[in-house]
Structure 1
Amino acid sequence: MRAALTGTFALALCGCAAASAPPSSIPVAPAPKVVAGAPDGGWRGYNVLLIALDDLNTDITAYGGNALTPNIDRLAASGTRFDQAYSVVPACNPSRTALLTGQRPETNGQYLNEGDFREKPGGESRITLPQFLRGKGYEAVAAGKIFHKPRGRSGEADPVSDPQSWDNQGKVATGTGGMEDYLDKDGWAKWLDGAGEYEGVPISEYIRKFGIWGPISQKAEETGDFQTARYCADYLSQRHDQPFFLACGLSRPHSPQLAPQEFFDLYPEAQVPYPDTRADDMVDVPKFAQKNWSTSFTRKLRSQPDEWRRAIRGYYASTSFADAAVGKILDSLERSGRAKDTIVVLLGDHGFQVGQKDRWEKFTLWDLGGHTTLVMRLPGESGVVGKPVSFLDLYPTLVSALGFERPGFVEGNDMMSLLRAPASAWDQPVVTTYQQGNNGVRWRNWNYIRYRDGSEELYDLSADPHEYTNLLAKDGARYDALRASLRAHIPAVTNPQQGYKPLG
């Protein structure tokens, strides 16, 4: 067992250190430049392998964290690890839609988990990354959850899997079985003992059902996620007469946190650490953001410390289970002889909170809501990037890496300069959205949040990594210039058929 797993409950007794004087302004991102092509004048000849894990945060060994991820570790060691990578939206459907369309929700119209971006204004004409590559001669294949829904195992493909993006989608299962062992006769989590509310506040039906964790009797090879991994591994082992874009979507560590026993055995329960938290954490948070649908569930969970520890253990075990599936895919790539000709991108679709700031799961503009894993391996490039980047940047970066001309509809920045030289200059703000009109701007060490009711938060993550002190509640006037500069990057709510336009 790693030493990092011997931590105990951390209760901060004081606020963060005084922040240094803020700068008065930040540079405005330049207009995207069109890439004319590869330096040699044409296509570079790389395949692309995209591996997406659902709800994966950065509390993994590849980032110095607790969840054991030896396969992600080895990929990171041979590629580029982005230490400050953020989803465009801290929710599954809009995060994946933004990544794969190269457009913000203010442009593509997909703000929520519900719905299909194709049904939004202009949706049918949007060209996703796999569609773009198909137009360049690639075969685009998916298995598991890449868009918000997997294809499904029979009949017509689920429309939210966006079948028009793919030449083929694997008819595979995802996740695991075993939920029934952790639900009571009414279909709610047994550990809740029938409670439908906490402190007089209802617990949402979704989390009453899916807020469960524990080992399952299924063997790893019998699970849906391993079916997905096996499909992708088999595809990589085959001969291909054209370049490919292979997308592999694993559903863990998303709730429910279920995995075979062997992955729970990696984490002796008594050694699983509680996250850093503080009893008065929410006192300086605007009323608008003090609670969400998971707050009563989280407070109920934290009132039972042993159960809370089991929940965190479940998240770690689910992460290690997903990592083992990643290993099957990477092993097949290595055996195929194509590793030197394949760009590998591994990511979580957003962050995950395990009790911090009265939240379980994601759906917040705090750092933990959007901060996630991103590793990219381009042949010949490796290192660690410490500057904030956005998943909006992945579409233009892959287009550039492959040597194609950047399409004009794509938003975001080309990260090739960081991949070639991780310490190179990069000073672009990362803008996140959670539901229409709520935005965060992550720039350097700052996280600025503005909600649609006009309330605001500002955190200096260098001095206050857990975001305990909202600087605008403590001494707002001191940060007026910085706040105005950051606010200028918040997107206007526009007609989705129009492009992204920041507020002035």
Structure 2
Amino acid sequence: MRRRTLLKGMAGAAAAPVTTVRAATGRQRNVLLLISDDQGLDLGCYGTPIATPRLDRLAGEGTRFTHAFAAVSSCSPSRAVIHTGLYGHQNGMYGLQHDVHHQSLLDGIETLPSLLRRAGYATALVGKKHIGPDSAFPFEAELVPERSGIRDVREMAVAAGSFIRSTNDRPFFVTVAYSDPHRAATDYGNDRAWPGVKPVRYDPARVHVPAHLPDLPAVRQDLAGYYESLSRLDTGVGMLLDLLAESGRADDTLVIFLSDNGRPFAGAKTNLYAPGLHLPLIVRAPGSAAAVNDAMVSWTDIAPTILDWAGVAPPRYPLSGSSLMPVLGKPGDPARDAVFASHEFHEINQYYPMRAVRTRTHSYILNLAHPLDYPVAGDVAGSPSWQAIAADPAIRLGKRSQAAYLRRPAEELYDLTRDPDELVNLAADPAHAAVRDTLRARLLDMRKATRDPWLTGQTDPYSHMGR
């Protein structure tokens, strides 16, 4: 029933023929897409006191975006956004793809590997997939498949480097999807030695505690393991970038580093608050100067950016994002003043649809199923930090009560200039009605433009897809 084409009138439409464009050097334009797993805005270059020298160096060589946001804070839906340029409510990846959750793209959705492979690119996925169906992601090679959260960053670097060397004169699109710093069965995978990695240990008593978490011993211990995993990730990225340089292809390769969603702690992952959406984005493009850019950008912009760089035509249906190539090497773009977010599920039993719009000054969240309790992701619920928090209902998540976290109103509005932690809900405050109404209308316009199946009043949520 649900396998419909993307947009009305698009049934049977195929992507336009594409031709690969060469860089100014006369060589092909390659793409290396690096995705970390459950990483918040936590790198040395973003101000978190942890050791991430190679990613910090990459940031110094490229454009580091300070206001970059995922369009959803959940793994499979976010990876689907990255690879399609469409919000989750557009592309059909409403929740997690693996196991019993079994969410997948709607029929007719084009992805980066399908578009680029058809254009003559050698395409490979190294590491985590968590997106489907397989027919929509026709990677030429899938290397180092996820094995219960593989953490061997050297194996991943070597596999990616070998594939790059094997492409010869063909342009390549390689996605390296790490498991770090996602939770592992034991301590983020820090319980064993990994080849080529010198562990960076963090003293729980001295770690940085994000504002959305309470300062408890169990939370500090949990964060210490998370930060250690991030330092291992950084080592792996360094290995890969060294191999890219040795291949002689670095000067023709667009390198993008980002995370799929926020850190795996309450208040971040699966949430549309800042800790769940505000994430690292570093883009190093040959020919672009280094810069720190404060434009508000979205993961819906990643696919258009890669297609623009590669000179490959997008699908015939409109994408929700736009290329970042024009803003690379620049300090910002005033026209990019808002981002949107869309969430349906995480795990299949965790239905909690939300929509949100964020500007530089305000955050507005619409909780479409607000009578329900807010669900806590399984890996977060089983974590030492959440177990310590939930043991006493009086313990607050930062300054937010557990009751407020678990039982949310229909609308939330926050003044980010005065309340960056999104604690004081102004949605019912008459003094802020004008701002609320403006953002409410702006969000509704986005939902109409993207044909949101959750729009109120639809008796058939798929009627817009053209049966």
Structure 1-normalised TM-score?
0.68
From 298, 312, 336, the counterpart of 1:404: 312
* 396-405 or 334-343: bigger deviation: 396-405
Count how many residue pairs are aligned between Structure 1 and Structure 2.
381
Structure 1 residues 482, 323: closer, same or farther in 2, change over 3 A?
same
Q: Does 1:230 align with 2:158?
A: yes
What is the CA distance between 1:171 and its match in structure 2?
A: 4.2
Equivalent-residue separation in structure 2 for 1:379 and 1:140 (angstroms)? 20
Equivalent residues in 2 for 1:186-201 (5 A)?
Answer: none
Q: CA deviation at 1:143?
A: 1.1
Root mean square deviation, CA, Å: 3.3
State the shift of 1:275 in Å.
2.4
Is 1:331 matched with 2:253? no
SS at match of 1:89: coil
CA contact (8 A) 1:109 1:496 kept: no
The residue that corresponds to 1:76 in the other structure is 59
CA contact (8 A) 2:364 2:436 kept: no
Separation in 2, partners of 1:42, 1:498: 45
Give the deviation of 1:58 after TM superposition.
0.9
1:165 aligns with 2:138: yes
Map of 1:398-437 to 2, 5 A cutoff?
398-409=306-317, 410-435=319-344, 437=353
* 8 Å contact from structure 1 (residues 441, 490) kept in 2: no
Q: Is the 8 A contact 1:95 1:349 kept in 2?
A: yes
**Where in structure 2 are the equivalents of 1:105-144 lying within 5 Å?**
105-114=88-97, 123-144=106-127
Stretches of structure 1 that go unaligned for 5 or more consecutive residues are 1-33, 150-158, 178-222, 279-301, 500-504
- Give how far 1:423 is off: 2.7
Name the SS for the 1:394 alignment partner.
helix
Partner in structure 2 of residue 25 of structure 1: none
Within a 5 Å distance, the mapping from 1:59-74 to structure 2 comes to 59-74=42-57
Counterpart pick for 2:368 among 452, 455, 477: 452
Residue among 210, 215, 221 paired with 1:275: 210
CA–CA separation in structure 2 for the residues paired with 1:353 and 1:164: 26
* 1:245 corresponding residue in structure 2: 173
Hey, what's the Cα distance between the residues in 1 that align with 2:217 and 2:105? 50
CA distance in 2, matches of 1:43, 1:437: 47
State the partner residue of 2:402. none
Aligned twin of 2:393: none
Taking the aligned partners of 1:43 and 1:140, their CA distance within structure 2 comes to: 20
CA distance in 1, matches of 2:226, 2:462: 36
Q: What is the CA–CA distance in structure 1 between the aligned matches of 2:231 and 2:105, rounded to whole Å? A: 40
- Pairwise CA distance, 1:422: 3.5
Counterpart selection for 2:447 from 474, 485, 491 = 491
> What are the within-5 Å matches in structure 2 for residues 143-162 of structure 1?
143-145=126-128, 147-148=129-130
Equivalences for 1:198-347 in 2 at 5 Å? 223-238=151-166, 240-256=168-184, 257-259=188-190, 260=192, 265-277=200-212, 305-347=216-258
Q: Distance in 1 between matches of 2:123 and 2:22?
A: 25
Does the 8 A contact of 2:19 with 2:119 survive in 1?
no
Q: Contact between 2:212 and 2:267, CA under 8 Å: does it hold in 1?
A: no
CA distance in 1, matches of 2:105, 2:145: 31
1:439–1:490 CA contact under 8 A, matched in 2 = no
Query: Deviation digits for residues 370-394 of structure 1, max 9, x if unmatched?
Result: 1111111110113122121111111
Letter in 2 for 1:269: P
Shift of 1:408: 2.5
Larger RCO, structures 1/2 (Cα 8 Å, 6+ apart): 1
CA contact (8 A) 1:172 1:227 kept: no
Q: TM-score, normalised by structure 2?
A: 0.73
Residue of structure 2 equivalent to 1:363 = 270
Contact 2:28 2:170 in 1 (8 A): no
Contact 1:253 1:319 in 2 (8 A): yes
Selected match of 1:391 from 286, 299, 305: 299
Q: Which amino acid aligns with 2:233?
A: A
Question: Is the Cα contact below 8 Å between 1:106 and 1:491 reproduced in 2?
Answer: no
Matched, 1:482 2:434: no
Once residues 104 and 42 of structure 2 are traced to their aligned partners in structure 1, the CA distance between those partners, rounded to angstroms, is: 38
Query: What whole-Å deviation, never above 9, does each CA across 1:48-67 have from its counterpart, x for those lacking one?
Result: 11111101111210211123
For 1:412, give the aligned amino acid.
Answer: G
Q: Structure 1 CA distance, aligned partners of 2:334 and 2:19?
A: 22
Match for residue 352 of structure 1?
263
Percent identical = 30
Runs of 5+ unmatched residues, structure 2: 1-15, 345-351, 371-409, 454-460
**Would you say the 8 A contact 1:37–1:400 is kept in 2?**
no
Query: In structure 1, what is the Cα distance between the partners aligned to 2:331 and 2:314?
Result: 22
> Which string of whole-angstrom CA distances, capped at 9 and with x for unpartnered residues, describes residues 183-204 of structure 1?
xxxxxxxxxxxxxxxxxxxxxx
Q: Distance in 2 between matches of 1:411 and 1:251?
A: 27
Deviation of 1:224 after TM superposition, in Å, equals 3.4
